[in-house]
Structure 1
Amino acid sequence: MSKLKPAAPGVERAAVWVDTVKRGPMLRLVRGSGTLVPEDIRWINTTTQGRVERILLRPGAEVTKDSIILELSNPQLQQAVQDAQLGHQSALAAYENRKADLERTILTQEAELASVETSYNNAKLNLESQETLLKEGLVAELQVKQLRSNVVDLKNRLAISQKQLENAKNGVKSQLAPQQAEVAQRSAQYQLRLRELDDLKVKAGMAGVLSQVPVEVGQQVGPGTNLARVADPTRLKAEVRIAETQTKDIRIGQMAEVDTRNGVIQGKVMRIDPTATGGTV
């Protein structure tokens, strides 16, 4: 008896699978229950404070990107829009007035330049004729010297006028820059207020089905409040609860079959929740 080997351990029949040993892939089937939920879901919130005036669509309605779900009111925002509009118009008027002043200044300098240039050309012609007469002894030399001095003076004035006109034209852009910046700032403020006013008409933002409207008429809402939820029913995913003890056999990318009670569709594992709830994942 002392030479006998220990007997093999025994197991219950129900705890083992009996089959012929074969070579090939081994199928490990993991089952779970769950629901089909939309893959694309969008919560629509408000960007400003307001009061719910009208709810135009209710859950279950089909919507497009531009469908208006509900409307808000905000008297303070409407006043802010008017103030921003007046501020923009005032800045634009100041810019146009400044531009007109600079254009008048340039026109005045151009007229002065033309006058000096005409005087200079006439003085040159007169000097040439007087020098001819001087050679013939018909005019005094002093008179010719005065004419020469006048031509030099007019030539200098012409050069100064040309430089002044050039500087005036080159300085238009820099002198208008402050007014242009003010117009741009006022315009941006006005456009921002217009967008906020337009946001009081809450739109779906995507095509799909309206699933929730968690507000009521007369309710005050603040920035960031969720006003509606829209989902795309054409793209669904299955959220399945699996026993925590079986999740070790599941890997992202594995093939899966989803029984929709209206047929079986093929899919694959996209995500595994890292936390367990009630013994399931």
Structure 2
Amino acid sequence: MDIARPELKKRKRRRQYIIGAIIVAALASASVGLYALGPAVASVDRSSVLIDTVKRGELLREVRGPGTLVPKEIRWIAAETAARIEHIVVRPGATVQADTVILELSNPEVESQLLAAKAAVTAAQADLAAKRTDLKSKLLDEQSALALARSSYEIARMQAEAEKVIADKGVIAAVQYKKSLVMLEQLKGRVSIEEQRVVEFGQNITAQIAAEQARLDQLVGACNLRQRQADSLHLRAGIAGVLQQVPVEEGQQVVAGTNLARVARPNELRAQLRIAETQAKDIVLGQPVKVDTRNGVVEGKVVRVDPAVQNGTVQVDVDLTGALPAGARPDLSVDGTIEIDRLPDVLFVGRPAFGQPDSEVRMFRLDAATGIAARVPVRLGKSSVNLIEILQGLRVGDQVILSDTSAYDQHDRIRLK
């Protein structure tokens, strides 16, 4: 028969209680440890992110933008009159001089107007010469009348002086002497009138000649205009350079003002850069520029900043002060870097993908010992093309991730492996 042993049952229950307590304690300890560890740490491949070290020193502020080389001097040559394109003498790409004929045009009406203008000038010149001769003859008549009046006055004066002597002696009557005096005064007045007439006629001659000369000058100006229009039918380059465009065809009819050819000086180029409007606020005239032509870097300086914004960019004109490399030509694509400022003795780091100047961001700072990168608040200052100033949040030697980390916005820490 079986013998009841209650002490064994108590011992077994005690052992179960102890094991249960141990399991509960282990679970509690594990829970505390997991809570202390926090959320799971995401792992990131170190080679997939860009890491830079915070440094202290001089920060060179620069802005960069693409652009093209354009001629400093470009001349569009337009048609002065309506005309027909007869012959294209020189094709685009050719080197031309100022007097090189590019196009031959025709307009019979212009040639007819030139002949009429020349005839009018010739007639006006003949009229002016005839007018001068006629007025000169009339002036001589007036001067002759003045001379006759003066001689009559002198004769009357001498007669009056002679009659005065003999009238005082009673040889002639006093009345006769008085008549001579009256005649003398009359002739004196006539002399004064003739002198005034000669002066006024001389002034009239000047006015008439000036009027005829003005008419002649007007006709000469019209003739010169017609001559220039006729000469423009032989379209010339006007400057030495390279013919870039001839946007017309032989046989084409064009109206006055139509652009017929474009000539540029290929050796005098400037760069036109397109700078993002957010970066153009600090650009001023005279700032140094480095223009990369893909075949060498040329020094330059800012000479103009367009006040308008087009498609989110501002046009900046740069005069090149250095020698152009071989292969530089108009419309060549270039990159320009403008030096804005130099900040001495500041903290700086590579420009992060998500950071803007004068803003506060949260960046991942790397702990080299553990390989864990934790988010820290960082205040950014002024920026350059690839660098940005650190105002607060980092120290010299800190390593931070510059790559876009928006995929880990829900994590405060990531592990680099």
TM-score (normalised: structure 1): 0.80
Structure 2, unaligned runs of 5 or more: 1-31, 314-417
Counterpart CA distance in 2 for 1:28 and 1:9 is 38
Counterpart CA distance in 2 for 1:247 and 1:14 is 34
Give the secondary-structure state (helix, strand or coil) at the position aligned to 2:53. coil
Query: Cα deviations across residues 116-152 of structure 1 (Å, max 9, x unaligned)?
Result: 1111111111221122222233223333233222212
1 or 2, which has the higher strand percentage? 2
- Equivalent residue for 2:168? 135
Task: Judge conservation of contact 1:60–1:209 (CA < 8 Å) in 2.
Answer: yes
Q: Within the alignment, does 1:125 sit opposite 2:158 as a pair?
A: yes
Letter in 1 for 2:292: V
Task: Judge conservation of contact 2:277–2:312 (CA < 8 Å) in 1.
Answer: no
- Equivalent residue for 2:125? 92
Q: Within the alignment, does 1:73 sit opposite 2:106 as a pair?
A: yes
The 5-angstrom pairing of residues 154-233 of structure 1 reads 154-233=187-266
Which residue, 301, 310, 323 being the options, matches 1:274? Answer: 310
Identity percentage of aligned residues: 37
- Equivalent residue for 1:101? 134
CA deviation after TM superposition for structure 1 residue 159, in Å: 1.5
Letter in 2 for 1:182: R
- Equivalent residue for 1:258? 292
Higher relative contact order (CA 8 A, sep 6+): 1
Counterpart CA distance in 2 for 1:263 and 1:217 is 41
CA deviation after TM superposition for structure 1 residue 67, in Å: 1.7
Counterpart CA distance in 2 for 1:185 and 1:214 is 36
| 1:156–1:41 Cα change, 3 Å | closer
Counterpart CA distance in 1 for 2:255 and 2:126 is 36
CA deviation after TM superposition for structure 1 residue 15, in Å: 5.8
Counterpart CA distance in 2 for 1:147 and 1:263 is 108
CA deviation after TM superposition for structure 1 residue 28, in Å: 8.0
Letter in 1 for 2:310: P
CA deviation after TM superposition for structure 1 residue 239, in Å: 6.5
Counterpart CA distance in 2 for 1:193 and 1:108 is 42
Task: Judge conservation of contact 2:290–2:299 (CA < 8 Å) in 1.
Answer: yes
CA deviation after TM superposition for structure 1 residue 35, in Å: 5.8
Give the secondary-structure state (helix, strand or coil) at the position aligned to 2:51. coil
Give the secondary-structure state (helix, strand or coil) at the position aligned to 2:75. strand
| 1:236–1:10 Cα change, 3 Å | farther
- Stretch of structure 1 that moved more, 75-84 or 54-63: 54-63
CA deviation after TM superposition for structure 1 residue 53, in Å: 2.4
1 or 2, which has the higher helix percentage? 1
CA deviation after TM superposition for structure 1 residue 256, in Å: 3.9
- Stretch of structure 1 that moved more, 228-237 or 111-120: 228-237
Over the residues paired in the alignment, what is the CA RMSD in angstroms?
3.5
Task: Judge conservation of contact 2:288–2:299 (CA < 8 Å) in 1.
Answer: no
Letter in 1 for 2:163: Q
- Stretch of structure 1 that moved more, 54-63 or 86-95: 86-95
Query: Cα deviations across residues 177-213 of structure 1 (Å, max 9, x unaligned)?
Result: 4323322221221111111112112111222111222
The 5-angstrom pairing of residues 48-67 of structure 1 reads 48-67=81-100
Task: Judge conservation of contact 1:42–1:230 (CA < 8 Å) in 2.
Answer: yes
Counterpart CA distance in 2 for 1:27 and 1:167 is 80
Q: How many residues align?
A: 272
Query: Cα deviations across residues 19-65 of structure 1 (Å, max 9, x unaligned)?
Result: 33211337889686x76554433222111111222322122211122
CA deviation after TM superposition for structure 1 residue 160, in Å: 1.3
